[in-house]
């Protein structure tokens, strides 16, 4: 687990230490099983989400007799917030799955606004996608969702050299900056390199505040099929050729806060 950046404190972290085959810490995470966006394969099984005994979380997609299973976990906490006058960074070290045929694989590291847990609507309550990819493509999409149906970003970008996104671990991050509460920003990074910055002025104050100025919870999942991979390939995924057993591996998740 790296130390907090200068001027920040660590307010949450998990380096996924524990016995091989065990579930991620129930103090930090719970399993989600409700389907959405066409993903209906979530289980609570340690065949789908488990610690490898060497400090990694593994989320693995399995198939049996045509039925796919995988997992999504969410943080118990939903209070990860940038304070007025301060900053918040959400970051994770992730290795994406790369099976022989990856059609339908949809790994993600993202955050949703805390209002979603108390009746808030999507995407008005805010969704921040630090990492999404689909179908084994060599790239990562980072997207900010807000308002009635709006978003910024979403383009597939390459990971910085020398490694490709599908090779080894990379860090995917978002930095919410509320230092100036009249001109707030949201910045996406890959391996510490800024990829895009979005501003309150682009979104509008009302929509921005509803999507950003509150707590968030973190989600890690590996979906199989659904709207995004289907749209990307113009087909229905996973296909008969899709290889089971591919896994998204997470070395750590951390939340850093710079108080006002």
CB 89 within 8 A of CB 8: yes
* Mean pLDDT along residues 43-54: 97
Hey, what domains does the chain have and what are their CATH numbers? 9-258 (2.60.120.200)
pLDDT score at 260: 62
* Mean pLDDT along residues 48-76: 97
Q: How confident is the model at residue 233 (pLDDT cuts 50, 70, 90)?
A: very high
Is the confidence at residue 235, as pLDDT, over 70? yes
* Mean pLDDT along residues 131-138: 93
Closest CA to 29 of 258, 253, 256, 259: 253
Interatomic CA distance for residues 32 and 43, integer angstroms: 8
pLDDT tens profile 156-188: 888 876 668 888 999 999 999 999 999 999 999
Is the confidence at residue 37, as pLDDT, over 80? no
Task: Note the pTM of the prediction, 2 decimals.
Answer: 0.97
Is the confidence at residue 191, as pLDDT, over 80? yes
Is the confidence at residue 67, as pLDDT, over 80? yes
pLDDT score at 162: 61
Question: What is the 8-class DSSP label of residue 32?
Answer: E
């Amino acid at each position: 687990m790296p130390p907090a950046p200068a001027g920040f404190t660590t307010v949450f972290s998990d380096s996924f230490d524990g016995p091989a085959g065990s579930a991620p810490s129930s103090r930090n995470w719970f399993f989600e099983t409700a389907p959405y966006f066409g993903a209906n394969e979530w289980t609570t099984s340690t065949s789908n989400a488990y610690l490898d005994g060497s400090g990694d979380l593994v989320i693995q997609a399995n198939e049996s007799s045509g039925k796919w299973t995988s997992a999504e976990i969410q943080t118990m906490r939903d209070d990860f917030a940038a304070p007025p006058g301060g900053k918040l960074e959400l970051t994770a070290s992730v290795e994406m799955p790369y099976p022989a045929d990856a059609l339908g694989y949809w790994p993600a590291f993202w955050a949703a606004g805390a209002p979603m847990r108390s009746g808030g609507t999507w995407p008005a309550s805010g969704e921040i996608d630090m990492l999404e990819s689909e179908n084994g493509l060599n790239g990562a999409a980072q997207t900010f969702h807000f308002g009635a149906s709006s978003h910024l970003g979403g383009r597939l970008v390459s990971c910085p050299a020398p490694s490709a996104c599908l090779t080894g671990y990379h860090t995917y991050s978002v930095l919410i900056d509320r230092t100036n509460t009249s001109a707030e920003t949201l910045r996406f990074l890959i391996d510490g390199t800024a990829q895009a910055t979005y501003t309150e002025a682009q979104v509008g104050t009302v929509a921005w505040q509803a999507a950003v100025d509150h707590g968030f919870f973190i989600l890690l999942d590996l979906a199989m099929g659904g709207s995004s991979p289907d749209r990307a390939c113009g087909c229905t995924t996973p296909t008969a050729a899709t290889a089971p057993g591919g896994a998204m591996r997470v070395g750590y998740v951390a939340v850093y806060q710079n108080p006002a």
